[in-house]
C-alpha cells in the first residue's frame, strides 16, 4: 500500500503519453496526456501540470480530480523533432518527456490501371490525347497518373517516348502520313497497358 512520507509531502509519480502526429490541412495535431499518480488512497485535489515543448512552456492544465489526468492539444506547423515534457511545478523532479518527429508522409505512387487514347483530326493529320488513369474498385472515375512513361510507335517502329503531365495527360502530334491508314500503338512503361488505334490517311484519288 502506498503511504505518505511525513515531512516530505505526498508521494507522486507522473506518466505521459503523446499521440502520433496527425496532419490537419497544413498543420500536425498531437495530444499529450499526463496522469498524476498518487501514493495515497485518499482523494487528492487537482494539481497543475505544465506542458512544455523543446524547453519552452506551452500550457498549464489542472488535473481532473477523479482521474488525475491533464490533457493538452498541440498543433505544429514546422517539420522536425520535438520533445514534449510534462512536470509538476511544485515537484520539479516529477517529470516525464516524450520525443517524436513531425514529418511529411510519403504519398504512395499511383498505379496505372487504365489507358485512354482519343484521336483528333483526319486525312493524315492527327493528334492523340492520351490519358493514364488509376482507380480502384470503389471509384467510378479514375485519377490521372503523373509522370507515367509512354512508348508510342507505328507499324514501322518507335516514334516517340513521352511522359504524362500532372493530370496524367499528354497530347501527341502524329507525323503526317499519306498511307491509306496507319496503326498507332501506345504502351505504358512498366505495366501491361497497351492500346492500338487506327487512323485514316488522305483520301486516295
Give the tens place of pLDDT for each residue, 137-150. Answer: 666 667 889 999 99
Which pLDDT belongs to residue 201? 79
- CB under 8 Å, gap of 24 or more: what pairs does 128-131 form? 128/152, 128/171, 128/172, 128/174, 128/184, 128/186, 128/197, 129/169, 129/171, 130/162, 130/164, 130/169, 130/170, 130/171, 130/172, 130/186, 131/164, 131/168, 131/169
Q: Which domain holds residue 52?
A: 12-102
The verdict on 137 and 186 lying in the same domain is yes
Tell me the average pLDDT across 61-65: 90
CATH number of the domain to which 167 belongs: 2.60.40.10
Quickly list H helices, the chain: none
Residue 178 lies in a domain: yes
What would the mean pLDDT of 159-183 be, rounded to a whole number?
A: 89
Q: Which three cell numbers stand for residue 179?
A: 498511307
**Is the pLDDT confidence value at 7 over 50?**
no
Q: Which residues pair with 187 in a beta bridge?
A: 151, 194
Compute CA 172 distance to the chain's CA centroid, rounded to the nearest angstrom. Answer: 32
Q: Is residue 5 part of a domain?
A: no
Max alpha carbon distance in the chain (Å)?
Answer: 114
Instruction: Report the DSSP beta bridge partners of residue 65.
Output: none
pLDDT, residue 6, reads 39
Number of domains in the chain: 2
83 in a domain, yes or no? yes
Query: Beta-carbon neighbour count of residue 124 at 10 Å?
Result: 19
Give mean pLDDT, residues 165-178: 90
Q: 52 or 64, which is more confident?
A: 52
Mean per-residue pLDDT over the chain, rounded: 85
Task: Identify whether residues 48 and 126 lie together within a single domain.
Answer: no
Task: Say whether both 86 and 29 belong to one domain.
Answer: yes
175 phi/psi in degrees, rounded to 5: -55, 140
Lowest mean pLDDT among 36-50, 70-84, 123-137, 176-190: 36-50
Q: Is 4 within the bounds of a domain?
A: no
* 193 shares a domain with 141: yes
Q: What is the pTM (predicted TM-score) of this model?
A: 0.51
Shared-domain flag, residues 31 and 75: yes
Grid cell listed for 129: 490525347
Does the pLDDT at position 188 exceed 80?
yes
Does residue 40 have a pLDDT over 70? no
Considering 39, 69, 102, which residue would you say is the last residue of a domain? 102
Residues contacting 191, CB < 8 A, separation 6+: 111, 112
Selected residue with higher pLDDT from 85 and 91: 85
Cβ–Cβ < 8 Å for 164, 132 = yes
Residue where one domain finishes, among candidates 102, 126, 160: 102
Instruction: Answer whether residue 93 is part of any domain.
Output: yes
Residues 50, 121 within the same domain: no
Amino acid at each position: 500500500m502506498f503511504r505518505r512520507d511525513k515531512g516530505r509531502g505526498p508521494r507522486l509519480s507522473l506518466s505521459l503519453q503523446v499521440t502520433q502526429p496527425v496532419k490537419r490541412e497544413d498543420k500536425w495535431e498531437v495530444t499529450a496526456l499526463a496522469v498524476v499518480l498518487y501514493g495515497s488512497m485518499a482523494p487528492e485535489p487537482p494539481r497543475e501540470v505544465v506542458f512544455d515543448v523543446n524547453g519552452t512552456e506551452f500550457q498549464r492544465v489542472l488535473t481532473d480530480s477523479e482521474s488525475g489526468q491533464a490533457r493538452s492539444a498541440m498543433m505544429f506547423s514546422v517539420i522536425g523533432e520535438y520533445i514534449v515534457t510534462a512536470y509538476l511545478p511544485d515537484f520539479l523532479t516529477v517529470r516525464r518527456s516524450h520525443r517524436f518527429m513531425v514529418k511529411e508522409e510519403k504519398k504512395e505512387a499511383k498505379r496505372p490501371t487504365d489507358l485512354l487514347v482519343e484521336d483528333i483530326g483526319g486525312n493524315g493529320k492527327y493528334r492523340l490525347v492520351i490519358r493514364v488513369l488509376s482507380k480502384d474498385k470503389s471509384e467510378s472515375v479514375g485519377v490521372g497518373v503523373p509522370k507515367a512513361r509512354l512508348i508510342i510507335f507505328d507499324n514501322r517502329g518507335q516514334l516517340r517516348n513521352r511522359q504524362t503531365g500532372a493530370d496524367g495527360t499528354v497530347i501527341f502530334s502524329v507525323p503526317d502520313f499519306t498511307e491509306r491508314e496507319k496503326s498507332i500503338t501506345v504502351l505504358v512503361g512498366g505495366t501491361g497497358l497497351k492500346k492500338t488505334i487506327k487512323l485514316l490517311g488522305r483520301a486516295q484519288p
